[in-house]
């Protein structure tokens, strides 16, 4: 498919139209920070190099989702939702969607999560290229392209004052149009440098996990902002005879995450919890899905009040592994 | 006003000395963190580690919390006036033992956050800690300068007198609407050291943690109640919140009430019994039907 | 309309508030008993929860009742100095004073939470207290706070 060139006014005019058909989600200012949120006024949309504070995973995996209601012998399941258009997703956030797809349609589609698929199928994603790295970004060593993401429905690139739109799927075909032009030439794809090629036994007890995690206060902000963290809990709440089953986000950084019904807790120390977060992303998911579950967006690093740094941690582990081999 | 370079040098020198003559096992301080944008906690355990310590205008982290984690070890802590109030609170509540801690009192004129004075700092009464072992003054010397503090925070009691119930409810609702129940505020708080928080208790389903209004209300009000007369106004809860919830006015309002009614201020005296752990038979009948009326509200 | 808003007085058909009343076993609960055995009339608006002492009432219970949508909460214990456990109600007095200020700051009308002392011999006073509390809360109307899912009524 060819690409189209259009200026910001045309993008906004198109969005205005699209708002009739879709719930449009785009980066807008929320107080003094940028967030992916529903657009009510097209002029609020900010399409530039900034990375929104939170990841857009809430579009497919809401923080609190009612999955079922039990009432008078009936069971109500999730309902159809209006199509959602996510505009301005950064390459790192688009890359995360692929990881979500793998998780929620696990084992090559054998286990499908209907609530996830329901939202995923009604979602159209238009990516937006970055022009520069931000403080804490490490997508380059995680193999995420700055100006292209293959896993979305269309991609916008900022070239000078205007945008070049490249549709990638049928869903993204008619979103934006303009004068036809050549697609933006892709920068060389970065190598995935930051990966752990190790066995669990090589890192599980030998690395200085206590030192890595000493600043952790267990707030879980890292997992709430992470575009690929997907752990959840199911809760049943009764109110006046109606039982609602909700799916709520959970976090491996909470001590209660692994608390067993019998009272035993296998991960009581914060260093063990941090180890789980790092190894889940860099070791356990790669074992099952052939890719690492970290896109290098740097959100966890920038937001951590304790100064924990997953990039430095993994780099340090790699260094230690190499030294051990010598 | 404050010479951070000299303070840093003095802090490193002090930490090196403390660590090399084995007075302490660990020095709690902060180190540079360009990704986060302000210095984050650092534990110096060897004399050569001490070089990483810094002291800047935006090192606003309250380190008192980490002291409970190195309990049993001899620890030194670089502490501002608000951190020291927190430490005193923890000592008064038997969470720390005074003998284990060496307080390096850092003179402070308020810390910056996002290029403006952190909102907790405008309520700070003093630039100098009220308990310390080693003093590091504004100019890096050992004699405190007792700098003037802005002290321009809102008086919550005044605010409450001049607002209606509906306005107060509005403000409260607006704040808790943003809350996502991640409990970062609880984790960062010096006063929240319960092994199992009431909201996390499994045995009784008091609270169901799905972010509905009733749960949020119950969590924040109960937390405020638990911190009545114990909040030291360090602002850690507000700094750490990923959603920008700011309920500090509730804590501050209660501190004002406790000070006025029971003549007690948190974080002043390590020997004092906490205000809700004691009573006096002639306490005012505030809030009781037909009793003394509550001031203004 | 929720169930909460539909509770009406069987006789007058007008709305009556739902009030959760925590009564201490030794004084106020006995006082309520006395009011009953003496056939003293008082509004049927309170739901009594018997507790060993007013000092047993965790502020969280009161907050929970309000955030789940109760129209009001009443706590009653022994008069200061008369506590069965000697000092339970002294601790409670401080706690409730602070709680009331907190609720008031958070936008709950101070009249929604009522604390009082009623002894075992004060059956008439108990009826009087319940009447006063009910009238005060009735004047405020149904609670606008809380309720599950934030369905404030």
3-state secondary structure B2-14: CCHHHHHHHHHHH
Task: For the beta carbon of residue B169, count every other beta carbon within 10 angstroms.
Answer: 17
Residue C100 in contact with residue B287, Cβ under 8 Å? yes
A156: in domain: yes
pLDDT tens digits for range B17-38? 999 999 999 999 999 988 888 8
Residue (of B161, B144, B211) closest to B182 by Cα position: B211
pLDDT band, residue C50 (cuts 50/70/90): very high
ipTM of the prediction = 0.87
**SS3 state of residue A257:** helix
Query: What does DSSP say about strands B101-106 and B134-136: parallel, antiparallel, or unpaired?
Result: parallel
Of the candidates A130, A154, A181, which is a domain's last residue? Answer: A181
Cα angle for residues A223, A137, A226 (degrees, 5° grid)? 15
Is residue A174 domain-shared with residue A205, that is, in the same domain? no
Cβ separation of A224 and B240 shorter than 8 Å?
no
Count: domains in chain A: 2
Cβ separation of B209 and A235 shorter than 8 Å?
yes
Neighbours of chain A (3+ CB pairs under 8 A): B, C
Is residue A168 domain-shared with residue A205, that is, in the same domain? no
Is residue A84 domain-shared with residue A9, that is, in the same domain? yes
- By CB atoms closer than 10 A (0-12, 13-18, 19+), residue C42 is buried
Is residue A162 domain-shared with residue A84, that is, in the same domain? yes
Residue (of C151, C108, C127, C128) closest to C32 by Cα position: C127
Is residue A69 domain-shared with residue A99, that is, in the same domain? yes
A258: in domain: yes
Is residue A89 domain-shared with residue A220, that is, in the same domain? no
In this structure, what is the dihedral angle of CA atoms A91, A303, A59, A16, given to the nearest 10 degrees? Answer: -70
Tell me which chain C residues have a C-beta less than 8 angstroms from the C-beta of A236: none
Residue (of A119, A138, A115) closest to A60 by Cα position: A119
Q: What is the DSSP string of A237-256?
A: EEETTEEEEEEEE--TTSGG
In this structure, what is the dihedral angle of CA atoms A162, A166, A171, A174, given to the nearest 10 degrees? Answer: 50
The C-alpha atoms of residue B199 and residue B201 are separated, in whole angstroms, by: 6
Cα angle for residues A300, A302, A305 (degrees, 5° grid)? 85
pLDDT tens digits for range B118-142? 877 887 888 899 999 999 999 888 8
Is residue A160 domain-shared with residue A40, that is, in the same domain? yes
Is residue A45 domain-shared with residue A116, that is, in the same domain? yes
Of the candidates A181, A212, A244, which is a domain's last residue? Answer: A181
pLDDT at A273 over 60: yes
pLDDT tens digits for range B68-122? 888 888 999 999 999 999 999 999 999 999 999 999 999 998 888 877 888 778 8
- So what's the pLDDT on residue C10? 57
**A288 vs chain B: nearest CA distance in angstroms?**
29
Please tell me which of the candidates B33, B61, B182 has its beta carbon nearest to residue A224. Answer: B182
A81 touches chain C (CB under 8 A): no
- So what's the pLDDT on residue A25? 94
Residue C51 in contact with residue C91, Cβ under 8 Å? no
Helices (H) and strands (E) in chain B, counts: 9, 8
Domains present along chain C, CATH in parentheses: 17-142 (3.40.50)
Is residue A166 domain-shared with residue A247, that is, in the same domain? no
Place of tokens 């650092």: B42
A188: in domain: no
Greater pLDDT, A183 or B221 = B221
Is residue A156 domain-shared with residue A34, that is, in the same domain? yes
Pick from A200-214, B204-218, C10-24, C108-122: least confident: B204-218
The C-alpha atoms of residue A88 and residue A129 are separated, in whole angstroms, by: 8
- So what's the pLDDT on residue C149? 45
Mean pLDDT of B144-152: 81
Is residue A100 domain-shared with residue A206, that is, in the same domain? no
Tell me which chain C residues have a C-beta less than 8 angstroms from the C-beta of B264: none
Residue A11 in contact with residue A161, Cβ under 8 Å? no
Within 8 A by CB and 6+ apart from A212, the residues are: A271, A274, A278, A308, A313, A316
A100: in domain: yes
**A241 vs chain C: nearest CA distance in angstroms?**
12
The C-alpha atoms of residue A220 and residue A273 are separated, in whole angstroms, by: 10
A309 touches chain B (CB under 8 A): yes
Residue of B nearest to C58 (CA): B222
Please tell me which of the candidates A215, A218, A254 has its beta carbon nearest to residue B41. Answer: A215
Residue A130 in contact with residue A91, Cβ under 8 Å? yes
Of the candidates A181, A212, A237, which is a domain's last residue? Answer: A181
- So what's the pLDDT on residue B121? 83
Q: Which domain holds residue A9?
A: 3-181
Is residue A99 domain-shared with residue A237, that is, in the same domain? no
Tell me which chain C residues have a C-beta less than 8 angstroms from the C-beta of B169: 106-108, 144-145
Tell me which chain A residues have a C-beta less than 8 angstroms from the C-beta of C148: 237, 239
- By CB atoms closer than 10 A (0-12, 13-18, 19+), residue B229 is buried
pLDDT tens digits for range B224-253? 999 999 998 888 888 888 788 889 899 999
């Amino acid at each position: 498919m060819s690409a189209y060139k259009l200026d910001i006014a045309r993008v906004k005019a198109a969005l205005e139209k699209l708002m009739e058909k879709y719930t449009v989600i785009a980066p807008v200012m929320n107080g003094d920070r940028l967030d992916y949120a529903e657009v009510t006024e097209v002029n609020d949309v900010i399409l530039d190099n900034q990375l929104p504070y939170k990841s857009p995973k809430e579009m497919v995996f809401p923080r609190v989702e009612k999955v079922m209601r039990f009432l008078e012998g009936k069971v109500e399941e999730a309902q159809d939702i209006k199509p959602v258009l996510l505009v301005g997703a950064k390459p790192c956030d688009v890359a995360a969607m692929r990881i979500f797809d793998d998780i929620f349609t696990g084992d090559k589609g054998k286990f499908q999560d209907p609530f996830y698929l329901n939202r995923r199928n009604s979602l159209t994603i238009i990516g937006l290229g970055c022009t520069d790295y931000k403080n804490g970004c490490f997508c380059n060593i995680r193999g995420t392209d700055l100006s292209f993401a293959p896993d979305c429905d269309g991609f916008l690139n900022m070239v000078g004052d205007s945008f070049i739109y490249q549709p990638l799927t049928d869903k993204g075909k008619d979103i934006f149009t303009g004068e036809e032009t050549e697609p933006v030439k892709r920068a060389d794809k970065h190598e995935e440098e930051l990966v752990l090629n190790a066995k669990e036994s090589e890192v599980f007890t030998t690395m200085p996990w206590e030192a890595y995690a000493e600043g952790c206060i267990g707030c879980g902000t890292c997992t709430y902002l992470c575009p690929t963290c997907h752990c959840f809990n199911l809760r049943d709440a009764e109110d006046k005879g109606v039982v609602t089953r909700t799916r709520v986000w959970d976090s491996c950084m909470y001590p209660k995450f692994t608390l067993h019904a019998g009272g035993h807790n296998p991960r009581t120390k914060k260093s063990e919890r941090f180890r789980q977060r790092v190894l889940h992303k860099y070791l356990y998911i790669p074992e099952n899905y052939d890719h690492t579950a970290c896109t290098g967006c740097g959100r966890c690093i920038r937001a951590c009040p304790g100064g924990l740094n997953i990039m430095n941690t993994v780099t340090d582990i790699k260094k230690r592994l190499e030294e051990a081999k010598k | 006003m404050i010479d951070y370079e000299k303070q840093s040098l003095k802090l490193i020198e002090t930490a090196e000395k403390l660590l090399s003559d084995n007075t302490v096992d660990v020095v709690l301080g902060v180190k540079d963190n360009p990704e986060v944008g302000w210095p984050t906690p650092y534990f110096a355990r060897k004399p050569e580690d001490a070089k990483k310590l810094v002291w800047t205008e935006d090192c606003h982290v309250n380190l008192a919390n980490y002291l409970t984690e190195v309990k049993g070890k001899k620890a030194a802590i670089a502490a501002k006036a608000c951190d020291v109030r927190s430490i005193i609170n923890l000592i008064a509540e038997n969470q720390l033992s005074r003998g284990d801690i060496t307080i390096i009192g850092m003179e402070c004129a308020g810390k910056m956050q996002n290029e403006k004075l952190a909102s907790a700092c405008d309520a700070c009464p003093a630039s100098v800690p009220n308990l310390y072992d080693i003093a590091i003054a504004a100019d890096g010397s050992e004699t405190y300068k007792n700098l003037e503090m802005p002290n321009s925070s809102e008086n919550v009691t005044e605010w409450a007198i001049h607002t209606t119930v509906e306005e107060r409810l509005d403000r409260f609702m607006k704040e808790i609407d943003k809350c996502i129940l991640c409990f970062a505020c609880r984790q960062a708080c010096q006063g929240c050291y319960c092994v199992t928080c009431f909201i996390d208790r499994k045995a009784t389903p008091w609270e169901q943690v799905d972010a509905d209004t009733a749960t949020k209300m119950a969590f924040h009000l109960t937390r405020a109640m638990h911190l009545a007369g114990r909040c030291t106004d360090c602002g850690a809860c507000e700094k750490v919140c990923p959603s920008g919830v700011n309920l500090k006015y509730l804590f501050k309002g209660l501190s004002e009430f406790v000070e006025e009614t029971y003549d007690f201020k948190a974080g002043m005296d390590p020997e004092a019994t906490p205000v809700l752990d004691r009573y006096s038979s002639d306490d005012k009948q505030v809030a009781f039907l037909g009793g003394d009326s509550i001031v203004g509200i | 309309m929720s169930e909460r808003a539909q509770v009406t007085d069987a006789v007058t058909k007008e709305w009556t508030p739902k009030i959760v009343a925590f009564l201490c076993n030794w004084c106020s609960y006995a006082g309520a008993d006395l009011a009953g055995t003496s056939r003293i009339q008082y509004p049927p608006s309170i739901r009594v929860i018997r507790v060993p002492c007013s000092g047993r009432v965790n502020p969280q219970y009161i907050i929970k009742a309000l955030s789940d949508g109760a129209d009001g909460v009443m706590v009653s214990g022994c008069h200061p100095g008369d506590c069965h456990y000697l000092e339970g109600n002294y601790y409670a007095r401080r706690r409730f004073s602070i709680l009331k200020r907190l609720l008031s700051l958070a936008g709950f009308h101070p009249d929604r939470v009522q604390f009082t002392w009623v002894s075992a011999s004060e059956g008439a006073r108990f009826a009087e207290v319940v009447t006063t509390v009910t009238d005060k809360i009735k004047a405020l109307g149904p609670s606008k706070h809380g309720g599950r899912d934030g369905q404030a009524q």
